[in-house]
Amino acid sequence: MSDTATLKPDDRYQQLLARLGSRSFIEGLILPALGILVFLLAWQFSANRIETSLGKFPGPTQVWEQIENLGAEHKRERAKEAAFYQRQEERNARKLARDPDAVIKIRNYTGKPTFFDQIITSLLTVAAGFFIANLIAIPLGIVCGLSAATYKAMNPIIQVFKPVSPLAWLPLVTMVVSATYTAEDPVFDKAFLNSAITVALCCLWPTLINTTVGVTGIDRDLVNVSRVMALSPMVHVRKIVIPAAIPMIFTGLRLSLATGWMVLIAAEMLAQNPGLGKFVWDEFQNGSSNSLGRIMVAVIAIGLIGFMLDKLMLTLQKRVSWDKSAVLR
């Protein structure tokens, strides 16, 4: 590695060739690329044969067009927004120039959110739901792991609520939020809260269960060391329980985030939270010849973002984990 710099250009070329021909290169790049290519071909081939009431099922080329369309729409919308604010500023400036005491109004731009705005909304919503869930699940999991009695008491509740679909929760959440969240000037949109709480209710369980298992599985000897040192419960949890359970907690967190992201799309469709779920729903209702292509873009975006969220958690886990040699995947 270190002697690459001292090599002659010819040698480096040879080395490059050797790398290209090496097994790891083929397995790391060529094979996945080949898989994607085959998938795209099969997609294009079969898409052409599916006729729907909204035209042919979109193939990769149509979807690519829609990606470009959505990008262009986003740019147009941003330009309109900038123009709106500029006009407003100029108008206010003129007003103030004429009469320094004039009451000026600053209005927010109310144009329709673009695809990219909707992605941001979805990410914020899932982050909020995930955060609420973990705020409850991790401490509760630690308590369940430490106390067998608490676990036995909690277990039936966990088992019953774990398999409940988000769609069953949503009407209840909506009604409760409507009844209890009645601030004059709400910080959060109700649809946002409904979606976030529904997400939280669904991604509570993997973290809770995995944290419990992680805490229960702490090495007996380490617990005995802690008892011999007479560590206080707080120090015991901070210095021994949490570090020991971190790998399992993160397994739970990753499962939770994946569940949460999946649940979110459904919740947004029904709660009309202006995120990716609403985008899909609106396009479906819209029913133009482009709709299916646009929904397909959303499908791919949802997949890619889900993948990136998991990678993010993995990176975070590698950062936090004390065992740097552990193989994480």
Partner 1 sequence: MGIKYLDITGVGIEFDTNGSKFRALQNVNLRMKKGEFVSLIGHSGCGKSTVLNIVAGLHRATEGGVVLEGKEVTEPGPDRAVVFQNHSLMPWLSVYENVELAVNQVFRKTKSRAERREWIEHNLQLVNMDHALDKLPGEISGGMKQRVGIARCLAMQPKVLLMDEPFGALDALTRAQLQDSLMEIQAELGNTVIMITHDVDEAVLLSDRIVMMTNGPAASIGEILDVNLARPRDRLDLAENPEFVHLRQQVLEFLYAKHSQPAKAAQETPQPERESAAVVEALSAEEDSGAKTGGPDSEAA
Question: Does 327 sit near partner 1 (CB under 8 A)?
Answer: no
Question: Does 230 sit near partner 1 (CB under 8 A)?
Answer: yes
Number of residues forming the site for partner 1 (CB under 8 A): 19
What is the separation of C-alpha 198 from the centre of its chain, rounded to a whole number of angstroms?
A: 14
Greatest alpha-carbon pair distance for the chain in Å reads 80
Given the rule CB under 8 A, which of 6-14, 110-118, 153-161, 216-224 is the region that contacts partner 1?
Answer: 216-224
Here the tokens at position 60 are: 């990769």
68 or 323: CB nearest partner 1: 323
Helix (H) or strand (E) holding 56: strand 55-56
Rounded-to-integer distance, Cα 156 and Cα 70, Å: 47
Q: Which of 222, 300, 308, 312 binds partner 1 (CB under 8 A)?
A: 222
Residues 41-60, interacting with partner 1 (CB under 8 A): none
User: Burial of 22 by CB count in 10 Å (0-12 exposed, 13-18 middle, 19+ buried)?
Assistant: exposed
Q: Measured between alpha carbons, how far is residue 56 from residues 44, 293, 300 in Å?
A: 11, 10, 18
Length of the chain, in residues: 329
| Contact by Cβ (8 Å): 206, 256 | yes
| Contact by Cβ (8 Å): 312, 261 | no
Question: Does 218 sit near partner 1 (CB under 8 A)?
Answer: no
Residue in this structure with the two tokens 């479906």, named with its chain if needed: 284
One symbol per residue from 242 to 271: x for binding partner 1 (CB under 8 A), - otherwise; what is it? -xx-x-------------------------
Here the tokens at position 293 are: 């292509």
Q: Which of 1, 103, 228, 327 binds partner 1 (CB under 8 A)?
A: 228
Question: Does 231 sit near partner 1 (CB under 8 A)?
Answer: yes
Question: Does 148 sit near partner 1 (CB under 8 A)?
Answer: no
Question: Does 235 sit near partner 1 (CB under 8 A)?
Answer: yes
Question: Does 68 sit near partner 1 (CB under 8 A)?
Answer: no
Given the rule CB under 8 A, which of 11-19, 187-195, 227-235, 299-307 is the region that contacts partner 1?
Answer: 227-235
Q: Which of 240, 255, 266, 270 binds partner 1 (CB under 8 A)?
A: 240
| Contact by Cβ (8 Å): 277, 122 | yes
Question: Does 27 sit near partner 1 (CB under 8 A)?
Answer: no
What is the separation of C-alpha 60 from the centre of its chain, rounded to a whole number of angstroms?
A: 24
Q: Which of 239, 286, 303, 318 binds partner 1 (CB under 8 A)?
A: 239
94 or 238: CB nearest partner 1: 238
Least distance CB 62 / partner 1 (angstroms): 52
Beta bridge partners of 205: none
Q: Any residues with CB less than 8 A from the CB of 181 and at least 6 apart, and which?
A: 188, 190, 193
- What does residue 230 show for φ and ψ, rounded to 5 degrees? 55, 45
Instruction: Please name the amino acid found at residue 318.
Output: K
123 or 242: CB nearest partner 1: 242
76 or 238: CB nearest partner 1: 238
167 CB neighbour count, 10 Å cutoff = 13
Q: Which of 224, 288, 289, 315 binds partner 1 (CB under 8 A)?
A: 224
Instruction: Please name the amino acid found at residue 80.
Output: K
156 or 322: CB nearest partner 1: 322
27 or 323: CB nearest partner 1: 323
Least distance CB 229 / partner 1 (angstroms): 5
Rounded-to-integer distance, Cα 250 and Cα 257, Å: 10
Question: Does 322 sit near partner 1 (CB under 8 A)?
Answer: yes
* Site for partner 1, rule CB under 8 A: 219, 221-222, 224-225, 227-231, 235, 239-240, 243-244, 246, 322-323, 325
